[in-house]
Amino acid sequence: MTQVLEYESNAIVELMRVLPADRDAEWLKNALQQAIMVEVATIGPYASALWSIKEPSEAVAKDIREIIFDEMTHMGLACNMLTTIGGTPILADPKVVPKYEHALPGGVRPDLVIFLEGLTAASVEMFSEIERPEHPVAQLAVSTTIGAFYAAIEEAFETQQHLIGGDRQIEYSLESHGQGNRIVPLDTIEKVRAAIEVIKEQGEGTSASPENPFPGKPGELAHFYVFREMFRGKKLIKVSENPVVWDFKGDDVPLPPAFPMGRVPDGGWANGGPNAPAPEVQQVLGAFNGHFSAMLRALEAAWRSGDANRLSTAIGHMHGMRTEARKLVQLELPDGSGKTYGPEFLYVEE
């Protein structure tokens, strides 16, 4: 099976159409590369919302921050899954870098447009749709999900266990952000199963409960339900024990004050007409994009070499991204809308 790296492809849809009996080593490598691209795609929107919040100590800000660390762990586990079967993650390539406003890579959830914006009701609704499980405890399901794709990956691993070689495995702990937040070597099928369980259940919960089985704090919900609480403005609580029923009838969950970051135009602010950046704004945008691109190169180099020390370089660039983003969300757009600039997440070559 030919590898498809274009972000705007139908690769995941095509992979899911392959009969389970025909999902061989190349299928699994292609599927894992697409899974990595999906995980990376979520970080830009979530981080944009986080960096727009005026007071980082707000409860909503803390919740989004924890989810971002979960997603970074998921990306790392997917990278370990790919290298353990002899593949190499591709992250620092214009073809695979996320594009906004666009659907998720590979044709998964083609109805859902992913955009970069500050914290708004529209953005948190979009976040919950990214994380939507197949069978939500508190809502009806729609369309194919990321979780279903990971389930297919797990099934392929079960039939291709002989591929697991333990090559270039990275070990790195982010457990201060949750029990499941540890990138671990995946050199057995049992460890692969456990990693996929973390990825699916941190995002979706289980079929019986919306709670995150790998929480950073007691009672923490899976990502889908955390974002639904923000959108609905109410905590999700258990309202009945027999039968078990959950509903959004708890305490208020107000969205905190945020800088009014505008929606980034397709391809960046240079395509924003009257909001095309002046040189001084472009300098900040360029600094952010430089850190973002260097972060991706450091992550790719880590899994090419199996050198966990390179993750420290990537984390340093993440801190740089946050610094520049906090500047951008306070720079007003020239169109008089009262909205501000925000990070573009554009890849630039060295």
Q: 3-class DSSP state for residue 38? A: helix
81 within a domain of the structure (yes/no): yes
* Domain of 18, in residue numbers: 11-259
315 within a domain of the structure (yes/no): no
298 within a domain of the structure (yes/no): no
pTM score > 0.75 for this model?
A: yes
332 within a domain of the structure (yes/no): no
Average pLDDT over residues 134-161: 69
Gap between the Cα atoms of 52 and 61, Å rounded:
9
Closest CA to 178 of 65, 255, 313: 65
CATH at 31: 1.20.1260.10
Gap between the Cα atoms of 150 and 145, Å rounded:
9
Name which residue leads in pLDDT, 201 or 151.
Answer: 151
Strands (E), the chain: 172-173, 182-183, 237-241, 244-247
186 within a domain of the structure (yes/no): yes
pLDDT tens figures, 65-118: 988 988 888 999 999 999 999 999 999 999 999 999 998 888 887 888 999 999
The total number of structural domains in the chain stands at 1
Is the pLDDT at 337 greater than 50? The verdict is yes
pLDDT bucket at 232, cuts 50 / 70 / 90: very high
305 within a domain of the structure (yes/no): no
294 within a domain of the structure (yes/no): no
Gap between the Cα atoms of 254 and 75, Å rounded:
30
Lowest mean pLDDT among 9-13, 38-42, 90-94, 218-222: 218-222
Q: 3-class DSSP state for residue 152? A: helix
Cβ atoms within 10 Å of 14's Cβ, excluding its own: 15
Tokens 């979530």: give the residue.
46
Contact 202, 214 (CB under 8 A): yes
pLDDT bucket at 341, cuts 50 / 70 / 90: very high
Gap between the Cα atoms of 134 and 144, Å rounded:
7
pLDDT tens figures, 16-56: 888 999 999 999 999 999 999 999 999 999 999 999 999 98
Gap between the Cα atoms of 149 and 173, Å rounded:
25
Beta-carbon contacts of residue 202 (< 8 Å; ≥ 6 apart): 70, 74, 178, 180, 212, 213, 214, 222, 223
pLDDT bucket at 348, cuts 50 / 70 / 90: very high
Tokens of 223: 């990502």
Name which residue leads in pLDDT, 272 or 331.
Answer: 331
pLDDT at 139: 40
**CA of 261: how far to CAs of 4, 79, 125, 197, 300, in Å?**
34, 32, 16, 35, 30
Q: Residue type for 104, please?
A: L
